[in-house]
Amino acid sequence: MKLKEALRYLLAFGLPIVILCLPLSAFGIEGMTIQEQRVVAIFVMAALCWVLEPIPIYATSVLVIVLELLVLSDKALIFFKSGVEQPDFGVVLNYKDIMATFASPIIMLFLGGFFLAMAATKYRLDVNLARVLLKPFGHKPANVMLGLMVITAIFSMFMSNTATTAMMLAILVPVLSIFSPGDRGKAAFALAIPVAANIGGIGTPIGTPPNAIALKYLTGDNYIGFGEWMSFAVPFVVVMLLIAWFLLKTLFPSQQDKMELAIKGKFLKTPKAIVVYVTFAVTILLWLMGSSHGMNSYTVALIPVAVFSVTKIIGKDDLKNISWDVLWLVSGGFALGLALDKTGLASHAVSAIPFAEFSPLLVIFAVTLLCLLMANFMSHTATANLLMPIVAALAVSMDSLAGFGGTKAILLCVTFAASLGMSLPISTPPNALAHAAGHTTTGDMAKVGAALGAIGVALTFVMVYLMRVVGYV
């Protein structure tokens, strides 16, 4: 084991052990319990593992769930349970609640999205849609780039951003060969795909994991349905895409006057292909109709799972290609949020800082900026997993936030910021794929990503303000 790797392990797992050895008074939180101390240790371990990655990030989530079962639950190891001599032990979590994070309705929502994406790819619905939808954009380089960005964004609303980027970059290969070696337009096209994928994922609740994590806390009076989410997120995506397109074509002008984008293929007309088309359309339609038909988006998400399984469109071999790591990663975040909430640590930590003395706008701006910075250096999902439960507790504790949209406003700002972190190749898998293709530099990516991040945060505030004006938040 290399020294650097050993240090990562030591820091990620050593510091939590040190935290467990500290007296409760060392935390400076009045009423701190033993259970809350253990949650602090698990939270620090998760944060360090997600940032330093001594183990895979999905493995960190599984470890979080297992540790909560072992040391926080009512079925914990016997020597971790409370005794008569421990009056400050704290709240004990129900083991069923911890395990239920693996089968949260939001996990089922993502599973339905994965089934739709796999079926669309298997029966070439994605490539054929790209071929049809790109035709109206003509042959001018700037227009072709806009078309590619629009298609990428649309696919990213319903497919994995990573899978969408990989598919679109493959389509882009013959286009990039047209450019001369010194043509800056090549960088624009190479960056357009990951930028559009990152932005497009904001458009639907299943577009990217941070959106699903936000839904976990947008309940009750703050509940947002699938169609409602799209009603404000899609306009945001459209505006951001236009800004990104203008920025790319301005920073990296092309020397080409005309280009041809040849995508070969035709829509399949087999019975199974038709089932895919119909199921895809019906599922999207039911999602957009909200609860007017009596079903919520989580119930609708299981329709394609059932249809594609029964018709053998998705077989047992296909199931191996589902992004189980993403589902585990999200469920680990839910478990971490459950522990922070149920033990009272999140509310105690928030109350320990006098947020009420600060301007609500300043608080919203600060947490949004923090989320954007974190999302540039670590997984967007991990960032959302760490921040969402704390921000949700903060929203509940600050009465002054009610005048600025309350819980819904601050969570949406943080959620959108998580997807806007795209300044570096390590920021998000689409960026890494585009950088690995070798047609863009880290400097170009940082320039575009930083500008779009700042513009996106500003636009998020405008969006929330308009939503407040019309009474949505």
Instruction: Give the number of other Cβ atoms within 10 Å of residue 319's Cβ.
Output: 13
- Select, from the ranges 130-139, 354-363, 366-375, the one with the highest average predicted confidence (pLDDT): 366-375
DSSP string, 53-64: -SS-HHHHHHHH
Residue 15 has pLDDT above 70, yes or no: yes
Give helix 105-122 / helix 141-158 axis angle, nearest 10°. 130
Asked if residue 68 lies in contact with residue 91, where contact means CB atoms within 8 angstroms, the answer is no
Residue 117 has pLDDT above 90, yes or no: no
Confidence grade of residue 262 (pLDDT, cut at 50, 70, 90): low
Give the whole-angstrom CA distance, residue 331 versus residue 170.
31
The pLDDT assigned to 472 comes to 65
The pLDDT assigned to 314 comes to 92
Give the whole-angstrom CA distance, residue 421 versus residue 378.
9
Average pLDDT over residues 111-138: 82
The pLDDT assigned to 242 comes to 96
The pLDDT assigned to 112 comes to 86
Residue 456: what are its φ and ψ, rounded to 5°?
-65, -40
Give the whole-angstrom CA distance, residue 437 versus residue 420.
21
Give the whole-angstrom CA distance, residue 308 versus residue 132.
25
Percent of the chain with pLDDT over 70: 95
Residue 207 has pLDDT above 80, yes or no: yes
Confidence grade of residue 423 (pLDDT, cut at 50, 70, 90): confident
pLDDT tens for 125-175 read: 877 877 777 777 777 888 888 988 998 999 899 887 877 887 788 777 767
Residue 257 has pLDDT above 80, yes or no: no
Higher per-residue confidence, 315 vs 28 = 315
The SS3 assignment for 93 reads: strand
pTM: 0.81
Report how far apart, in Å, the C-alpha atoms of 212 and of each of 119, 154, 270, 296, 330 are.
Answer: 21, 18, 34, 14, 8
Confidence grade of residue 320 (pLDDT, cut at 50, 70, 90): confident
Give the whole-angstrom CA distance, residue 383 versus residue 225.
23
Tokens of 403: 């005048």
